[in-house]
C-alpha cells in the first residue's frame, strides 16, 4: 500500500511508512453507522448506503472502481483495480458483534505482480475485512504509539485490529501473514493459485475463531466490530485485477 504523498520530515516519513497503509486501508466515517450490515448490491450501479468509498488521506492515486454490474445471470459488485487504491466500507453500530460471515466471490483477472509478503507487492484482487475495536491496552507498545500517531493524522477512526480474508494468486489457501506495512492488519488466504478463475466460490467463516487465530497473541477476548470492508488494490505493483463479490452477510 502506498505512502501518503504529503512531504514530511524524515522521522515522519519513517512513521508514515508504517501507518499510512493502516490509515488508508481502514479509514472509515463512523457517522454513517447502520443498525446492521446492509446489502452490498442494490438497484443502482453504485453500492447502496451506508457502503462508502474510503481511500488514503489526500489521495492522488487512481481510485479502485466499485460498481454493481451484470455477471452470469445476475448482478454483483465488480472490483476493478488498475494501478489504483481504495476500499468499500460499511460502518457498524457501537458494540456490534457477529459469529458468521458469509459471501461469494470470484477473480476473473488476478494481479500476477502481487506478493503480500513484501511492501512492493502488497496488492490484492479481492479481500473482505473485519475491523475490530481492539483496546489500545492490548496493542504492543511500539505499535500502540504508531497507531496513536496515525489516528491523530487521519481524522477518522482507525481500528487496532483487522482480519482480512484474501483471494491470492501466489500464496496457498490457509496461509496466515501480517500486512507488510502494519501488524494491525493480518491476512488469512482463503483461495490460492489453485482456485479456478471466473468461477464463483462461497465462503462461510467463524468470526470469533478467525479473530483468535490471527490476534490470539494479543488478547483472548474478541472485541466489538467497527466495520466491514471489501477491497481490491493495485497501487504498489501498478498492475491490474478484476474481481467480483456478492451475497455478503454477517450474523
Q: What percent of the chain has pLDDT over 70?
A: 84
DSSP E strands in 47-193: the ranges are 52-54, 65-71, 74-82, 87-96, 100-109, 124-132, 161-167, 176-178, 185-191
Between 24 and 60, residue with greater pLDDT: 60
Give the pLDDT confidence of 93-122 residue by residue, as tens digits.
Answer: 877 888 999 999 999 999 999 999 999 999
Q: What is the pLDDT of residue 18?
A: 37
Kindly list the distances between the CA atom of residue 54 and the CA atoms of 14, 112, 135, 228, in Å, as whole numbers in the listed order.
Answer: 23, 25, 23, 12
Q: Does residue 206 have a pLDDT over 90?
A: yes
Q: What was the pLDDT predicted at 147? A: 74
pLDDT of residue 156: 58
Residue with cell 490471527: 214
- pLDDT tens-place string over residues 174-187: 999 999 988 889 99
State pLDDT tens for residues 12-32: 333 333 344 444 444 444 444
The pLDDT of residue 142 is 73
CA separation, residue 157 to residues 58, 132, 161, 227 (Å): 16, 11, 12, 10
Q: What is the rounded distance in angstroms from the CA atom of residue 96 to the CA atom of residue 90?
A: 12
Amino acid at each position: 500500500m502506498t505512502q501518503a504523498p504529503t512531504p514530511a520530515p524524515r522521522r515522519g516519513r519513517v512513521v508514515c511508512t508504517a501507518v499510512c497503509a493502516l490509515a488508508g486501508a481502514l479509514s472509515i466515517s463512523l457517522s454513517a453507522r447502520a443498525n446492521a450490515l446492509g446489502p452490498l448490491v442494490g438497484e443502482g450501479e453504485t453500492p447502496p448506503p451506508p457502503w462508502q468509498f474510503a481511500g488514503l488521506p489526500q489521495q492522488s492515486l487512481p481510485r479502485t472502481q466499485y460498481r454493481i454490474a451484470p455477471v452470469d445471470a445476475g448482478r454483483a459488485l465488480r472490483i476493478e483495480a488498475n494501478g489504483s487504491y481504495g476500499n468499500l466500507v460499511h460502518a457498524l453500530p457501537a458494540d456490534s458483534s457477529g459469529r458468521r460471515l458469509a459471501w461469494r466471490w470470484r477473480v476473473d483477472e488476478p494481479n500476477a505482480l502481487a506478493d503480500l509478503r513484501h511492501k512492493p507487492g502488497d496488492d490484492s484482487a479481492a479481500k473482505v475485512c473485519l475491523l475490530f475495536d481492539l483496546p489500545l491496552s492490548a496493542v504492543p507498545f511500539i505499535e500502540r504509539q504508531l497507531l496513536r500517531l496515525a489516528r491523530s493524522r487521519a481524522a477518522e477512526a482507525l481500528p487496532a485490529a483487522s482480519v482480512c480474508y484474501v483471494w491470492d494468486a501466489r500464496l496457498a489457501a490457509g496461509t496466515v501473514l501480517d500486512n507488510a506495512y502494519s501488524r494491525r492488519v493480518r491476512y488469512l488466504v482463503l483461495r490460492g493459485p489453485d482456485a479456478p478463475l471466473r468461477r464463483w466460490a462461497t465462503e462461510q467463516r467463524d468470526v470469533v475463531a478467525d479473530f483468535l487465530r490471527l490476534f490470539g497473541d494479543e488478547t483472548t477476548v474478541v472485541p466489538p466490530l467497527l466495520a466491514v470492508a471489501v477491497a481490491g488494490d493495485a497501487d504498489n505493483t501498478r498492475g491490474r485485477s478484476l474481481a467480483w463479490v456478492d451475497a455478503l452477510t454477517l450474523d
